[in-house]
Amino acid sequence: MALAFLPSDEVHTFATSLHQQYTDNNAIEQFHSYFSNTWLTGSFPVELWNQYSVDSQLRTNNAVESWHARFNRAVRAAHPNLFVILKHLKSV
């Protein structure tokens, strides 16, 4: 998970370094092969999932979770259906 927070140009080097420390473990060999083929050079390039240059407040969904919590308190329902939401909107 920490690879996502390194500069993009350092991800390959660091992943290779980690891999070289555990070359005697077959499970790690298999995982590294999958990870490398999928996330480093395959379907999902590093630039797609790397978070190094992303504003730290945008890295999580905390703002969305906070909005949902406030909304649920306002409508007094944990999982409001459409009718509960409409009733609340009409009362505001």
Q: What is the per-residue pLDDT for 24?
A: 85
Q: What is the per-residue pLDDT for 58?
A: 67
The pTM of this model reads: 0.56
Q: Is 35 exposed, middle or buried (0-12, 13-18, 19+ CB in 10 A)?
A: middle
- The residue ranges of the chain whose pLDDT is under 70 are 57-59
Domain-wise residue ranges, the chain: 1-53, 60-92
Q: What is the per-residue pLDDT for 59?
A: 65
Q: What is the largest distance, in Å, between two alpha-carbon atoms of the chain?
A: 65
Which residues are CB-contacts of 80 (< 8 A; sequence separation ≥ 6)? 72, 88
